Structure 1
Amino acid sequence: MKTIYIKCILIIILLIQPILINAQSIRAIDSEKITSILESHFDKKNPGGAFAIIQKGKVTFKKTMGLANVEYQIPIADTTVFNIASNSKQMTSLLTLILQGEGKLSINDDIRDYLPELKELPYKVTIKQLMNHTHGLPNVDELAQIKGIKKMTYEEVITMLFNIRQFNFKPGNDYQYNNTGFVLLSKIITNVGEKTFQEQLKEKVFDPFGMDYSQAVDNYNQVIPHKAYSYTSIENNIINNSVKISTIGSSGVYASLNDLIVWAKNFTRKNSKYQKHFKRMQKETILNNNRVIEYGLGIQFENYKGIDIVFHGGGTEGYRSYILHAPKHDLSLIFLSNAGGLSGYEIIYDSLEILLKDNLINKKEPSYKGDLSSYEGIYELNASTYYNIWEEDNSLYFGTHGTSEKIMLPKTGKNVFDFVLPYSKLIFNEDSLDLRFLDFSFRAKKVDLPTIDNSNIDLTKYIGIYKNKDHNAIYELTIIDNKLIVKHTINGTFSLNIYSESMMNVINSYFGKIDFIFNSEGEVLGFNLSRQNLVGQFFEKKD
Structure 2
Amino acid sequence: MKRSLLSLLLVSFLGQALFAQNLYQEHFPKVDSILNHHYNKNTPGIALSIISTGKTIYQNAIGMADMENEIAISDSTSFHIASVSKQFTAYLALLLEEEGKLSMEDDIRKYLPELEALPYKITLYQLANHTHGLPNLSELVHLKGIGSQNIMTHQQVIKMLLNIRIVNFKAGEQYQYNNTGFALLAEIIERVEGLPFQQVLKERIFNPEGMNASQAIDDPALIVKNRARSYMLVEDGYQNNELNLMTNGSSGIRTTIADLSNWAIKFQQPDPKAQAIFQKMQKPSQLNSGQSISYGLGLETKKYKGLEVVFHGGGDVGYRSYILHIPAYQLSLVLLSNTDDFAPLLVYDIIDLFLKDVLKEPTKPEKTHYSSKELKSFEGTYQMFPGNYFNIIAKHDTLYFQNYGTKDIAPLPIIGDDEFLFPYIPTTKFSFYENGFIFNIADFKYDCKKVQLETVKAEEIDLSEYIGIYKNEEFNVFFELLIEDKELKARHMRMEDISLHPIEDDSFFSRRSFFGKLDFDRDKEGKIIAFRVSGQNLMNIEFFKLGCFQSSK
TM norm structure 2: 0.91
2:114 equivalent to 1:114: no
Q: Give the conservation status (yes or no) of the 8 Å contact 1:81–1:226.
A: yes
Q: Which amino acid aligns with 1:355?
A: F
User: Is 1:139 matched up with 2:122?
Assistant: no
Distance 2:255 2:401 in 1: 41
Per the alignment, do residues 243 and 508 of structure 1 end up closer, same or farther by CA in structure 2, a change over 3 Å counting?
closer
Q: 1:452 to 1:358 in 2, by over 3 A?
A: farther
Letter in 2 for 1:293: I
Structure 2 CA distance for aligned equivalents of residues 210 and 273 of structure 1? 18
Residue 272 of structure 1, CA deviation: 4.9
The CA distance in 2 between the partners of 1:188 and 1:240, in whole Å, is 34
Aligned residue number for residue 229 of structure 1: 229
2:540 to 520, 536, 541: 536
Q: Distance in 1 between matches of 2:512 and 2:432?
A: 22
Paired position in structure 1 for 2:301? 301
**Partner of residue 404 from structure 1, selected from 399, 402, 407:** 407
SS at match of 2:246: coil
Report SS of the residue matched to 1:273: helix
1:66-105 Cα offsets, whole Å, 9 max, x none, are: 2222222222111211111100000111011100001000
Does residue 433 of structure 1 match 2:433?
no
Alignment of 1:233-312 (within 5 A): 233-269=233-269, 271-312=271-312
Mapped partners of 2:113, 2:24: distance in 1:
57
Structure 1 stretch displaced more, 212-221 or 392-401:
392-401
1:291, 1:372 → 2: CA distance?
31
3-state SS in 2 of match to 1:122? coil
Aligned equivalents of 1:242 and 1:188: distance in 2? Answer: 28
Return closer, same or farther for 1:27/1:294 CA change in 2, 3 Å cut-off.
closer
Matched with 1:444 is 448
> What secondary structure sits across from 1:64 in the alignment?
strand
CA distance in 2, matches of 1:359, 1:365: 21
- Of 498, 517, 523, which residue of structure 1 is paired with 2:521? 517
- In structure 2, give the amino acid aligned to 1:263: W
Q: Which runs of 5+ in 1 are unaligned?
A: 1-21
In the TM superposition, 1:462-541 aligns within 5 A as 462-507=466-511, 510-541=514-545
Offset of residue 479 of structure 1 = 1.2
Instruction: Choose the corresponding residue for 1:416, options 416, 419, 436.
Output: 419
Check if 1:375 corresponds to 2:365: no
- My pick for the range that moved more, 96-105 or 415-424, is 415-424
2:20/2:53 contact within 8 Å kept? no
Separation (CA, whole Å) in 2 of partners of 1:105 and 1:28: 46
Partner of 1:17: none
- For 1:360, the equivalent position in structure 2 comes to 359
Q: Secondary structure at the match of 1:59?
A: strand
Q: Deviations over 1:504-537 (max 9, x none)?
A: 1113554211000001111000100011011100
How far is 1:395 from its partner?
4.0
- Distance in 1 between residues matched to 2:129 and 2:431, nearest whole Å: 23
* Cα distance in structure 1, aligned partners of 2:270 and 2:152: 41
Q: Deviations over 1:201-240 (max 9, x none)?
A: 1111111111111111111111112221222232334322
Larger displacement relative to structure 2 (423-432 or 315-324): 423-432
Task: Choose between structure 1 and 2 for higher RCO, CA contacts under 8 A separated by at least 6 residues.
Answer: 1
Q: Is the 8 A contact 1:25 1:60 kept in 2?
A: no
Which residue of structure 2 aligns with residue 14 of structure 1? none
Equivalent residue in structure 1 for 2:95, among 74, 89, 98: 98
- Deviation of 1:449 after TM superposition, in Å, equals 1.2
Which residue number in structure 1 is paired with residue 62 of structure 2? 65
SS at match of 1:40: helix
Partner residue, 1:389: 392
The amino acid across from 2:76 in the alignment is T
- Looking at structure 2, the residues matched to 73 and 113 of structure 1 have their Cα atoms a distance apart, in angstroms, of 50
Letter in 2 for 1:349: Y
Corresponding residue number in structure 2 for 1:7 = none
Distance 1:499 1:315 in 2: 33
Q: Distance in 2 between matches of 1:368 and 1:63?
A: 40
Shift of 1:486: 1.5
Give 3-state SS (helix, strand or coil) of 1:176's partner: coil
- Could you tell me which amino acid in structure 1 is paired with residue 126 of structure 2? Q
Question: Residues 246 and 27 from structure 1, CA distance in 2 versus in 1: closer, same or farther, beyond 3 angstroms?
Answer: closer
Aligned-partner Cα distance in 1 for 2:465–2:93: 51
> What is residue 12 of structure 1 aligned with on the other side?
none
Residue aligning to 2:337: 337
Of stretches 68-77 and 85-94 in structure 1, the one that deviates more from structure 2 is 68-77
AA in 1 matched with 2:460: N
Q: Given residue 455 of structure 2, which amino acid in structure 1 is its aligned partner? A: T
Match of 1:15 in 2: none
Contact 2:49 2:59 in 1 (8 A): yes
C-alpha RMSD of the superposition: 1.8
**Is the 1:453–1:500 Cα contact (8 Å) retained in structure 2?**
no
Instruction: Quote the residue 2:349 is aligned against.
Output: 350
**Amino acid corresponding to residue 487 of structure 1 in structure 2:** R
In percent, how many aligned pairs have the same letter?
44
Does the Cα contact within 8 Å between 1:452 and 1:497 map onto a contact in 2?
Answer: no
* Deviation of 1:426 (Å): 1.1
Checking the alignment, whether the CA contact within 8 Å between 2:513 and 2:536 is kept in structure 1 is: no
- TM-aligned CA deviation for residue 377 of structure 1: 1.4
1-structure distance, mates of 2:297, 2:24:
36
Task: Quote how far apart the aligned CAs of 1:29 are.
Answer: 5.0
Distance (whole Å) between structure 2 residues aligned to residue 394 and residue 277 of structure 1 = 53
Counterpart code for 1:321: S
CA change 1:26–1:61 in 2 (3 A) is farther
Q: Aligned in 2, Cα 1:406/1:234: closer, same or farther, shift over 3 Å?
A: closer
Which residue of the partner structure matches residue 212 of structure 2? Answer: 212
- The size of the alignment, in residue pairs, is 521
- Secondary structure of 2:134's counterpart equals coil
Larger radius of gyration: 2
TM-score (norm 1): 0.92
CA distance in 2 between counterparts of 1:410 and 1:492 reads 36
The 1:331–1:514 alpha-carbon spacing in structure 2 relative to 1, beyond 3 Å, is same
One-letter code aligned to 1:525: I
Unaligned runs of 5+ in 2: 1-18, 548-553
* Structure 2 contact 456–505 (Cα < 8 Å) conserved: no
SS in 2 for 1:89: helix
Counterparts of 1:397 and 1:525 in 2: how far apart (Å)? 40
| SS across alignment from 1:120 | coil
More moved, 394-403 vs 138-147: 394-403
SS in 2 for 1:485: strand
Distance 1:532 1:238, change over 3 A: same
For residues 406 and 211 of structure 1, do their structure 2 counterparts lie closer, same or farther at Cα, with a shift above 3 Å needed? same
Work out the CA distance in 2 between the residues paired with 1:503 and 1:228: 45
Judged with a 3 Å threshold, the aligned counterparts in structure 2 of structure 1 residues 29 and 399 are, in CA distance, closer, same or farther, namely: farther
The code of the aligned residue for 1:499 comes to I
Give the equivalent residue in structure 1 for 2:8: none
User: Aligned letter for 2:202?
Assistant: K
Partner Cα distance (2:72, 2:368) in 1: 50
The letter of the residue matching 1:87 is V
1:137 partner amino acid: L
- Tell me how far apart the structure 2 counterparts of residues 422 and 227 of structure 1 sit (CA, whole Å): 28
Matched letter for residue 536 of structure 1? N
